Amino acid sequence: MSRLWNFSAGPAALPQAVLERAQRELLDWQGCGASVMELSHRGKLFMSLAQQAEADLRELLAIPDDYAVLFLQGGATQHFAQIPMNLAGEGDSADYIVTGHWGEKAASEAAPYVQVNIAGSSKAQHYRGLPPRESWQLDPRAAYVHYTPNETIHGVEFHDIPQVGEVPLVADMSSDILSAPIDVSRFGLIYAGAQKNIGPSGLVVLIIRRDLLQRAGRPMARIFRYAEHAANDSMLNTPNTWGWYLAGLTFQWLKEQGGLAAMRERNRAKAELLYRTIDGSDGYYRNPVEPAARSRMNVPFTLHDSALDADFLKESEAAGLLALKGHKAVGGMRASIYNAVPLEAVQALAGFMGDFAKRHG
């Protein structure tokens, strides 16, 4: 059995070159006679891996020195709660811009720790676009503004960074980090679960402006406090060493690909091809999202007759196209086309879609 084209939303495809290297190094990493998973995180070898991974990520994203980079656990979901614990004090409020499933979750998980103000939402439009900026009710006294630049399930993406004044902007970049260059200095905090565009699940990359580490937040165990993790180089306790290692290999792979500007062009070409295929199908396939807010990473689409869904899934899998079933919240299909999914995969999918439409009229 060989590798198929994988459109999984997450855990998602990893670059083949990264997997091959991990396979080569699995039993004997750097000539030390053990795998990277079997070594102390405090040993010289692993410490140097950890530092290199951080340095490579800083280079890729041009992260300014006044930001700390943390390699944490708990998934993005744990940080939905941990962010308000760290950034908001007793009685504070925070603004949430909600443009899909994950923003909604982030707001509800924050509610025990901060007064959540839904400052903007496209829920009434079934998350098929972004709420117009004029409709946002931002509070200049808010502890922070939270948003989800790319909504993985609804396939809705911001194509610029919202202006929120002096209030720190917090972004859940789980499904779009490293897909294009970004200006990190516009953010107070960026976080991302690794399993879409970075590495395996179980690792969270968090980038935080250092002055925000000084916020008192609320009483909590040290393990929840970002300042403690920063002071201990993300080794307050045993980190996810395997995830950190694979993330490091992915960062090196991204540098070899030409960095994030090159990835942006590739991702644009992939998304354009897929949306062109959908829009050019005379309504056989449909994407529900307003064109200006369409995601470059997650492309949901429906067939003109949902009775064909089961055939589409069966035949696509037989054609070597994996994991196209859409999320139940949206229905139909979804193709996730993260960094590690090559243009050839999208070409194969577009070809199959044309073919399927012809055969099933």
Q: Site residues (CB under 6 A) for ligand PLP?
A: 10, 75-77, 102, 148, 152, 172, 174-175, 193, 196
Amino acid present at 194: A
Tell me the catalytic residues: 102, 172, 196
The answer to whether the beta carbons of residues 146 and 106 sit under 8 Å apart is yes
- Least distance to ligand PLP from the beta carbon of 197, Å? 9
- Least distance to ligand PLP from the beta carbon of 187, Å? 15
* Tokens describing residue 44: 């010289």
Q: Considering beta carbons, is residue 82 or 241 the nearer one to ligand PLP?
A: 82
- Least distance to ligand PLP from the beta carbon of 84, Å? 15
The answer to whether the beta carbons of residues 67 and 206 sit under 8 Å apart is no
Residue nearest to ligand PLP (CB): 75
Rounded to the nearest 10 degrees, what angle do helices 241-256 and 259-279 cross at? Answer: 80
Q: Considering beta carbons, is residue 277 or 295 the nearer one to ligand PLP?
A: 295
Q: Considering beta carbons, is residue 75 or 259 the nearer one to ligand PLP?
A: 75
- Least distance to ligand PLP from the beta carbon of 51, Å? 25
Amino acid present at 337: I
Q: Considering beta carbons, is residue 188 or 193 the nearer one to ligand PLP?
A: 193
- Least distance to ligand PLP from the beta carbon of 211, Å? 25
Q: Considering beta carbons, is residue 11 or 320 the nearer one to ligand PLP?
A: 11
* Tokens describing residue 271: 């998304």
Distances (CA, A) of 246 to 26, 133, 211: 11, 38, 30
Q: Considering beta carbons, is residue 10 or 84 the nearer one to ligand PLP?
A: 10
